[in-house]
């Protein structure tokens, strides 16, 4: 009984991010957000060669501290997650929690450190260190704006996936067509369809690096059509996302309005 009570109290400290918070919750959140912020600066400053060499012991010690801190946090969250109705089962609930977005971010924040101890491949270690950037995503628990973005993505995921599929379809068709048009005129640049996809990406996104461009009249015509279509193509997901934001804001305002008034008599609640 005492163990369950302690677990429930720890759950409130870790997971309650809205409404009235206890002093312990405020202190923990402050420490966690400070640690995440310092990790952000450490990742940025570690990329500066002179700082990396002059403060090698500091970066190393801070990395050890961060990994220990985030590891303890991860396993404590895994222990208390059963206090949430979604993860009530002591075994399957925890397994389900491990595959939740928040838990996966927490795991990716610490996993590179442990994996790097099992390899001497410097290239692989550099790639694993890159995954430390996932520590920044831990902010998503505490920043309301990021939660709104996540909610909009979930609500509009079908439309966004459809627009992404349309983008891929257009990219492949335009790249394949351009390859057959320009291959004979520029065999080194448009050497294959995969190589031509780079041209397709830069044209559709209106980046236009200039390292690959058509020189034949038909190729220029196709390039112009694809460039214009690219503008409309990116307007589609943007419009979907904006409409999702508007719907979310209207829904939030309506919920607040409903909360202020009794749903039965319409009188204002105290």
- Tell me the C-alpha to C-alpha distance, in Å, between residue 172 and each of 114, 165, 197, 254: 40, 11, 7, 44
pLDDT interval class at 5 (50, 70, 90): low
In sequence order, what DSSP letters do the residues of 52-81 get, joined into one string?
Answer: HHHTHHHHHHHHHHHHHHHHHHHHHHHHHG
- Residue 195 CA, chain-centre distance (Å), reads 28
Q: How far apart are CA 171 and CA 165, in angstroms?
A: 10
Model pLDDT, residue 76: 93
Model pLDDT, residue 250: 81
Model pLDDT, residue 97: 92
More confident residue, 115 or 257: 115
- Tell me the C-alpha to C-alpha distance, in Å, between residue 70 and each of 37, 110, 134, 227: 13, 7, 12, 46
Determine the average pLDDT of the residues in 131-150: 71
Going by C-beta distance under 8 Å and a sequence separation of 6 or more, which residues neighbour residue 109? 70, 132, 134, 135, 137, 138
Per the CB < 8 A criterion, the answer to whether 212 and 246 are in contact is: no
Structure tokens at 41: 């600066």
For tokens 């520590």, name the residue.
135
Q: How far apart are CA 68 and CA 155, in angstroms?
A: 36
Going by C-beta distance under 8 Å and a sequence separation of 6 or more, which residues neighbour residue 119? 125
Determine the average pLDDT of the residues in 127-148: 71
pLDDT interval class at 2 (50, 70, 90): low
Length, in residues, of the chain: 270
Residue 106: which of 140, 155, 149 has the closest Cα?
140
Residue 178 CB coordination number (10 Å): 25
Model pLDDT, residue 16: 61
pLDDT interval class at 61 (50, 70, 90): very high
What are 261's strand-pairing partners? 268
Residue 80: which of 1, 141, 26, 9 has the closest Cα?
9
**Domains of the chain: residue spans and CATH:** 2-142 (1.20.120.350), 157-260 (1.10.287.70)
Say which range, 1-15, 168-182, 256-270, has the weakest mean pLDDT: 256-270
Determine the average pLDDT of the residues in 220-237: 89
Q: How far apart are CA 250 and CA 66, in angstroms?
A: 40
The string of pLDDT tens digits covering residues 145-187 is: 677 777 888 888 888 899 899 999 999 999 999 999 999 999 9
The mean pLDDT of the chain is 82
Global confidence as pTM: 0.63
More confident residue, 19 or 234: 234
Angle, helices 122-130/101-116, rounded to nearest 10 degrees? 150
H helical segments located in the chain: 2-15, 23-46, 49-54, 56-80, 92-98, 101-116, 122-130, 144-155, 157-182, 193-204, 217-260
Residue 132 CB coordination number (10 Å): 22
More confident residue, 144 or 65: 65
Three-state SS at 268 = strand
């Amino acid at each position: 009984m005492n163990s369950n009570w302690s677990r429930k109290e720890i759950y409130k400290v870790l997971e309650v991010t809205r409404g009235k918070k206890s002093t312990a919750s405020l202190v923990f959140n402050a420490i966690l957000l400070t640690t995440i912020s310092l990790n952000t600066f450490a990742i940025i400053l570690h990329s500066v060669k002179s700082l990396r060499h002059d403060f090698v012991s500091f970066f190393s010690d801070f990395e050890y501290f961060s990994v220990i801190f985030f590891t303890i946090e991860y396993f404590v969250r895994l222990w208390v997650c059963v206090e949430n109705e979604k993860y009530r089962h002591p075994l399957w609930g925890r397994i389900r929690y491990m595959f939740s977005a928040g838990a996966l971010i927490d795991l990716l924040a610490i996993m590179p450190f442990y994996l790097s101890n099992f390899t001497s491949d410097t290239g692989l270690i550099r790639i694993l260190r890159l995954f430390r950037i996932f520590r920044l995503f831990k902010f998503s628990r505490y920043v309301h704006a990021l939660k709104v973005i996540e909610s909009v993505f979930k609500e509009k995921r079908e439309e966004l996936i459809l627009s992404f599929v349309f983008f891929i379809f257009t990219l492949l068709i335009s790249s394949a067509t351009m390859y057959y048009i320009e291959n004979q005129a520029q065999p080194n640049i448009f050497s294959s369809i995969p190589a031509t996809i780079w041209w397709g990406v830069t044209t559709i996104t209106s980046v236009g690096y200039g390292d690959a461009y058509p020189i034949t009249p038909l190729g220029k015509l196709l390039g112009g059509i694809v460039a214009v279509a690219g503008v409309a193509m990116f307007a589609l997901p943007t419009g979907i996302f904006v409409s999702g934001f508007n719907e979310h804001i209207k829904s939030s305002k309506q919920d607040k309005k409903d909360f202020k008034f009794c749903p039965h008599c319409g009188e204002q609640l105290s």
